[in-house]
Amino acid sequence: MPKEARMEHSELIRSLSERYDSFYLYDGARVSARAAHLQQVFAPVEFLYSIKCNPNPHILDTLFARGFGADAASLGEVLMAVEHGLKKDQIYFSAPGKTQRDIDEALPKSVLIADSLGEVGRIDKAAKAQGVCAEIGLRINPNFSFSGEGGHPSKFGIDEDDALALVRANPYENVKVTGIHVHVKSQELDGGVLAAYYGRMIDLARRFVDVCGELSYVNMGSGIGVPFADSDREVDVEALHAAAKAPLDAFRADFPGTRVFIETGRYTTCRSGVYVTKVVDRKVSHGKIYLLLKNTLNGFLRPSVAVMVGKYTDPAAAKSWEPLFTCDGAFRFTPLKEGEATEAVTLAGNLCTGTDLIAEDIHMPQLNVGDLIVIDNAGSYASVLSPMQFASQDKPAELFLSADGSVLVD
């Protein structure tokens, strides 16, 4: 168990816990630094923030102020990006199964990425009704997988051959395809695999340029992972860029007017957030020590899911199921208390269900009511995935630590 000395912001966390029994704390300076690092290394490649991983308004402001555009997964996220000041050509709405209302309302405000052939037709209809020609992108299900073999059936996107055929035939009067988007995998930590994927993306872009002429943008999607298990390492972003530079530079030289995008949600946010929960009860049952914590399953769901997966499978063999389950040992539970880890305890939440359990028989210093436990990797797919309405408990607060040291509440 990490010693308290390694916990950042521990004084601040302690003082915030006087007001809040459970809360997220997002570190704005770190979000900004991680974003800046990607931008510096990859320039002139541009970045889109995948809002769905954490739509905290201050995180949006931080990233948009740095020049990130928006990867919107719903009409709601399109509207959020508009509200936070982005213009149409900075908002890319890519999601399967858009409704006609999604299309009608998002068309004037964002760049629509069609997810199926049928959707292209529905966008054409909406564009006709609005008296415009919609410049859209196509989400492609490519004839290659992330790791290099052939393509797979997918609920996402349009199969590459069908998309090329559509562009060639161009049957729609009010739709013009000006960009392509692919996203096939999240949470890849192997820089070699990522670089090879970018190379295949550039080849794919060239196949589209051959039939539709120069593109406005090529969106290579996400993929860059973050460490979860103790054995995971950060992707070496410089080395990744160096490995992918040749095809990217050659493409830019041939098509200087085409913007190249990479999307990311977790890279900027996952490790920029912690979840803090308070011990609200302590009991011993048949010799086992239970610490009951405020809002675990219903405040930060994923640690409970990890325990559940471990009950059904060999955790070492369990498949990642992003973004609900990444791997065994994905979260660390750090007590905000000095002392040797002398006790084996079970960490459970204060819901009326036995599944509200985040750790069994882990060693901690002796913790009592009022003591705090900090959980890491809580900046992405954390608050948004948690069933906070369950049992009508009060929700954890979401707090944002600004670069100037002030703490902003939603």
Ligand X SMILES: *Cc1c(COP(=O)(O)O)cnc(C)c1O
Contacts 24+ apart (CB under 8 A), 238-243: 238/41, 239/191, 240/191, 240/194, 240/195, 241/41, 241/42, 243/191, 243/192, 243/195
C-beta closer to ligand X: residue 187 or 277 = 187
Residue carrying the six token digits 């972003």? 237
Beta strand pairing call for 333-335 and 372-375: antiparallel
99 vs 375: CA distance, rounded Å: 37
Residue selected from 183, 200, 271, 302 as contacting ligand X according to rule CB under 6 A: 183
Q: According to the binding rule CB under 6 A, does residue 180 interact with ligand X?
A: no
- Taking CB under 6 A as the criterion, the residue among 32, 264, 298, 386 binding ligand X is 264
CB of residue 242 to ligand X, shortest distance in Å: 21
Under the binding rule (CB under 6 A), the answer on residue 34 touching ligand X is no
Cβ nearer to ligand X, comparing 50 with 141? 50
* Token pair 């985040």: residue: 358
What character string, x for contact with ligand X (CB under 6 A) and - otherwise, covers 46-85? ----x-xx-----------------x-x------------
How do strand 134-141 and strand 259-264 relate by DSSP bridges?
A: unpaired
Pick between residue 221 and residue 299 the one whose CB is nearest to ligand X: 221
Element (H, E) at 91: strand 91-94
Residues paired with 374 in a beta bridge = 276, 334
Q: Which is nearer to ligand X, 22 or 222 (CB)?
A: 222
Minimum distance, C-beta of residue 183 to ligand X, in the bound complex (Å): 4
Is 273 a binding residue for ligand X by CB under 6 A? The answer is: no
Distance, in Å, from the CA atom of 339 to the CA atom of 320, rounded to the nearest integer, reads: 35
Token reading at 103: 């299309």
Nearer to ligand X, 21 or 115 (CB): 115
One-letter amino acid at 134 equals: A
- Minimum CB separation of residue 377 from ligand X in Å reads 12
**Which listed residue (266, 271, 294, 332) binds ligand X by CB under 6 A?**
266
Instruction: Enumerate long-range contacts of 8-11, CB under 8 Å, 24 or more apart.
Output: 9/274, 9/401, 10/336
Binding mask 150-169 for ligand X (x = CB under 6 A): --------------------
Distance of CA 255 to the CA centre of its chain: 30
CA distance linking residue 100 with residue 82, whole number of Å = 20
Nearer to ligand X, 303 or 379 (CB): 379
Site string for ligand X, 198-237 (x = CB under 6 A): -----------------------xx---------------
* Residue 79 or 211 having the CB closest to ligand X: 79
Part of the chain binding ligand X (CB under 6 A), chosen from 45-53, 54-62, 242-250, 390-398: 45-53
Binding-residue total with ligand X (CB under 6 A): 17
Q: In angstroms, give the least distance from the CB of 77 to ligand X.
A: 11
Of 181 and 278, which CB lies nearer to ligand X in the complex structure?
A: 181
Convert 185-249 into a string of H (helix), E (strand) and C (coil).
CCCECCHHHHHHHHHHHHHHHHHHHHHHCCCCEEECCCCECCCCCCCCCCCCHHHHHHHHHHHHH
* Nearer CB in complex with ligand X: 53/297: 53
Binding positions for ligand X, rule: CB under 6 A: 50, 52-53, 71, 73, 94, 183, 186-187, 221-222, 263-267, 380
